[in-house]
Each structure stands twice: as structure tokens, then as C-alpha cells.
Amino acid sequence: MSKKLEIKNLNRNFWIRNEEVAVLKDIHLTIDEGEFIAIVGHSGCGKSTLLKIIAGLEVQSSGSCLINGRSVSGTGPDRGMIFQEHRLFPWLKIKDNVQIGLDHLTKQEKDRLADDYLAMMKLSDFKHAYPSQLSGGMSQRVAIARALVTQPDILLLDEPFGALDALTKMDLQTEMTQIRQQQKSTMIMVTHDIEEAVFLADKVVVLSSRPGTIQDIVTIELGSVRDRGSADFAWYKRRILNYLIGEAKVNTPEFTI
Amino acid sequence: MRDNKIFTHTRTVLWKLILPVFILLFWLLAAEFAWVSPLLLPSPLVVGRTIQMQLGQEGTLLADMSVSLVRILRGYSLGAAVGITFGVLMGMSPKVNTFFMLTLTAIRQVPIMAWIPLLIIWFGIGENSKISVIFLASYFPILVNTMSGIASTDQKLLEVGRMYHLSRWKLFTKIYLPSALPVIFTGLKVGLGISWMAVVGAEMIAASAGIGFRINDARSLLQFPIVYAGMIAIAVTGLAMDMILTVVTNLSMPWKNNNK
């Protein structure tokens, strides 16, 4: 497997009221092509910032972020992103929303791709509807179709199912495992849901808080079909949770801020 | 379900009409029982007949209204074009905003009536002075609303636009403009109302035709029913234009009607 993404020595600082605060510190991370990586950590640990740096929406303070050996500068069609909120354009019909990243193609190609991916997400009947006519779960499926249709090398997921109810969330997580088998994209997901991370990811990166540093990288060896109820599954969950709880104990005073 | 809808609709219409009907009745009673001098408050029946006559062959109401309307359409469309263009530029670019804001805010402080003498000196008492008054009156609310509509575009949607590498033009047509449309239309409505005020005001000060001129002229000839007729004509036409704008607003934002 070839290296898709290489993060070396990456730091990110913010200025808050004339004080420099380290958000990400000394991040080293290598992701191979086709891998599914989950990044977990407490809220405010910098995991979304890391994802935005990979997306090209934010810039690191120092260090490097290389995709296929090339330094990231700005956003690019090689990367797609799914956000926590569906972020569909309310004024565009579902089909037009899905085609937003396909401007470089001809109309026929755009239509064919949109139809394919809407069918894949079981949304064909809704292509002429507006987002306000769809439920939260359906809207998020449109957002997934919108990101997949550009066939990105790297798919970035920023707490993609965080705003959904428990059942919809589980359905979409299961669908995500099927999507993974069809798409060859490398996927990087930020989440605070440990079960979600263990269910979907090949490797789980555990970030500590303030500044965000990599505590451990847990490789999940549970095969491609995973049973949430199995003992092994619970073991992985426990292991990751211990990192986060352990940290919370040490840092309790800080989290009351 | 459908009957229910019609029922609700009828009830809304009735609810809207109660107040105007009540005012009309009160006016009728006040005039019939001569609570006020009939010279100052002619009966609505008299005003109604005046309007009828004025709309006929010998009347000037239609001619006056159309003169004023043409002025409004010319001045207002200019105001809308300039207001929306600058509003978009200033809303999208903080640099352009900073460049113009101070000057435009200073200009806005001068009441529109205070412009009229100067505009008459510049353009005479003909059409151009009226059109420029309407332009000055209407462009500002349109500019300010467009600007704030564009500037309040959801950053999260713009982030999506950046993620998909949309060009500046696409960012404008796919995100900024549709997101700002409701506020732009609010500006267009306010601007239209102010246009009426401006044209009537300008015509009262210096004009030889138009509804403002006619009202003032009738006053000096003591033809008070014509004063009333003119005011009612303005109200009805203004209302109609506002309603047309509401229809246009709804048509341009189909995503706002969810019950398809």
C-alpha cells in the first residue's frame, strides 16, 4: 500500500486575546491509500482543525501535510468533505445540490453521475425536491452523495452522523461500510463517538486535549463485518475510552472552563 | 382538506377587509351626519363619483397617474440596478465596503426633500429632476438591504463552496445571491414605497403634471374631492405594486413554498 497522506511535525496555534494557544502539537500521522481512519478525542481537542488542515480550509502554523507527497495548499477536487450539518443549499433541488462539485463536466455526464449516486443513496425519488422537504437523515445522505459524486481520493468526514437520531445514525453507519467497499477513497473521519469509530475505522487515532497530541493509534482488527455486540468490539471500545477517561481525570479542572 | 383550505383562506380575506370597511363606514357616517364640515370631509360617495369622473374622458387622473408611474418605473429601476450592484460588491468585499461606506452614509443623511432644490437647479423641472429624486430615494434602502443580505450569507455554506472550488461568479449565483434574496426583496419593497413619497413630493414642489402636482393644484383650487381622489389613487396603486412585488418575490424563491 502506498502512502496517501503524510503529516509530519504539524503544529497549529491560535491567537486568543493576545495569547498564543497551541491547538495541535507535534502531530505525526501516515495514512495509506484506501484506509479508513477515525480521529477521536474530547471536543475542543483540535480534531476538526486537523481535518480542516487536510481539507485545505485552514493552514497549519508549522510542519507539513503532504498528499501523494505534495504539500496541501488550499482545497482541491482530490478531497471531498462531509460536515456534521448537511450544509445543502436550500435553494437548489436535490439533484443540483449533488452536482455542485461537477462544474467541469458536460450536462450528460453530470446527470448520469448524479443519477447513479442518488440511486446508490436510495434518493432517486427525491431528486426534484428541495432540502427543506427532506428529513435530517435523508439530507445527510444527499450530503454523502454530493461528496462521493466527485470521486475524491480522500473523503473527509467531520462528525458526519453527530446530528442524527440513534437509529438513523446506525443505518447510515452500516451504509457507510457498504460504500467503503464500492469506493476506493481513503477516508478520514473525526468523531467523538467511540462506537462509531470502532465500527467503521481500520485505525483509530486518539487525540489528547490542549494541545491536541496523538496519544495512541489503535488498529482495529475486527474484519469488514463488525458486530457491535461482540466481546472484541467492547474490548476496543473500552480501550479507547480508557485513554479519554484517563485523560479527563487528570485534566478535570481544565474542562470546567 | 381542500375545503378546509378554502375556508381558512376566506377567513383571512375577511379578516383583512374588516378594518377598511369599518373606516369607510365611519367616514360615510361622519359625512352624512355632517360631524365635520363637508368642505373638509366630503362624503365617500362624492369622492367615489369624483374618482369615476376623473377616470372618464374629461378627467386627468389616469394621465396624472401614468405620468407619475412612468417616473417611478424609470427612477426606481435605476435605483434598484445601482443599489443591488453596489450592495453585492460591498457585501462580498470588505475592501469595497470600506471604500464607499463613509461617503454613502454621509450622502444618506441629507433628506430627500433637501435634494429637490439642487436637482431642479441641475436638471430643470422636467422629467430628469423627478427621476433623479426617485433614484436617490430608492437606491439607499435597496443598497443597504442587499449589502446586509449578502454579508450575512452562511459561512458554513461558503465553506462548502470553497471545498468544491466554486469560482467567484458561481459563489455569487449559487450561494450569495439566493441566500440574500429575501433581504434584497425587502429592500426593493421599502425602496418602492419611498419612491412614491419622493415622486409625489417632487411633483408638489415643481411640476406641471403627475399625481403630486394634481393634488396640490386641486388644493389651491379648493377642489377637495380631487385631493382625496388623488390620495386614494396613490394608495391603491402603491398597494397593487407592493402585491405584484410580493408575487415576484414568491416566484423567485420556489424553495420557500414547501407544500408541493
Q: pLDDT value at position A219?
A: 83
- In the prediction, which pLDDT does A77 show? 83
| Residue B251 Cα, gap to closest chain A Cα (Å) | 12
Average of per-residue pLDDT values in chain B: 89
Mean pLDDT confidence for B169-186: 93
Asked if B242 and B192 count as a contact pair (C-beta separation under 8 A), the reply is: yes
The partner residue sitting opposite A87, judged by closest CB among B156, B255, B258, is B156
Mean pLDDT in residue range B82-95: 92
A50 pLDDT higher than 60: yes
Going by pLDDT thresholds of 50, 70 and 90, the confidence category of residue B73 is: very high
Q: Residue A229: its pLDDT value, please?
A: 80
pLDDT digits (tens, 9 = 90+) for A78-111: 888 999 888 999 999 998 999 988 888 888 888 8
Task: Tell me: pLDDT of A47 over 80.
Answer: yes
Of the candidates B85, B79, B188, the one whose C-alpha atom is nearest the C-alpha of residue B134 is B79
- What is residue A42's predicted lDDT score, i.e. its pLDDT? 80
Contacts of B250 in chain A (CB under 8 A): none
Selected residue with higher pLDDT from A157 and A239: A157
User: For residue A222, which of A256, A177, A253 has the smallest C-alpha distance?
Assistant: A177
Task: Report percent pLDDT > 70 for chain B.
Answer: 98
The mean pLDDT value for A53-62 works out to 88
Taking the CB of residue A88, how many other CB atoms lie within 10 A of it? 23
Check CB contact of A90 with chain B, cutoff 8 Å: yes
Q: How far is B163 from chain A (nearest CA, A)?
A: 6
Task: Give the predicted TM-score (pTM) of the model.
Answer: 0.81
CA distance A157 to chain B (A): 13
CA-to-CA dists, residue B105 to A88, A173, B117, B127, B141, angstroms: 36, 54, 21, 27, 11
Q: What is the ipTM of this complex?
A: 0.83
Question: Are A130 and B170 inside 8 Å of each other by CB?
Answer: no
CB proximity under 8 Å: A 115-174 to B: 130-133, 150
Compute how many other C-beta atoms are within 10 angstroms of the C-beta atom of residue A64: 12
Q: Quote the minimal CA–CA distance from A229 to chain B in Å.
A: 37
pLDDT in tens, A20-44: 888 888 888 888 888 899 998 887 7
User: Hey, of B160, B181, B258, which one would you mutate to test binding to chain A, going by the most A CBs within 10 A of its CB?
Assistant: B160
pLDDT band at A1 (very low <50, low <70, confident <90, very high): low
Contacts of residue A188, Cβ cutoff 8 Å, sequence gap at least 6: A5, A31, A36, A37, A38, A39, A51, A54, A154, A155, A156, A157
Average pLDDT for residues A183-210, to the nearest whole number? 87
More confident: B195 or A240: B195
- pLDDT, tens digit (0-9, with 9 covering 90-100), for A127-169: 888 998 888 888 988 998 999 898 888 999 998 888 888 888 8
What integer pLDDT is reported at residue A119 of this predicted model? Answer: 86
Mean of per-residue pLDDT scores for chain A: 84
Q: How confident is the model at residue B84 (pLDDT cuts 50, 70, 90)?
A: very high
Write down the pLDDT at residue B4. 75
| Nearest alpha-carbon partner for A130 in A96, A158, A164 | A96
Pick from A57, A79, A103: CB nearest B170: A103
